[in-house]
Amino acid sequence: MLLAVYNFHNVWFALICSESRARTDVLP
């Protein structure tokens, strides 16, 4: 269960990061 939550958080964080990077294009 904990691993599933960790994996879900990783996917969500990656989606937010890629989306914000594509939107602002300021991250390296």
- pLDDT number for residue 17: 80
- pLDDT number for residue 20: 72
What are the tens digits of pLDDT across the range 1-28?
A: 788 888 888 888 888 888 776 666 655 5
- pLDDT number for residue 25: 63
- pLDDT number for residue 14: 87
Per-residue burial over 1-28, b if 16 or more Cβ lie within 10 Å, else e, is: eeeeeeeeeeeeeeeeeeeeeeeeeeee
- pLDDT number for residue 26: 59
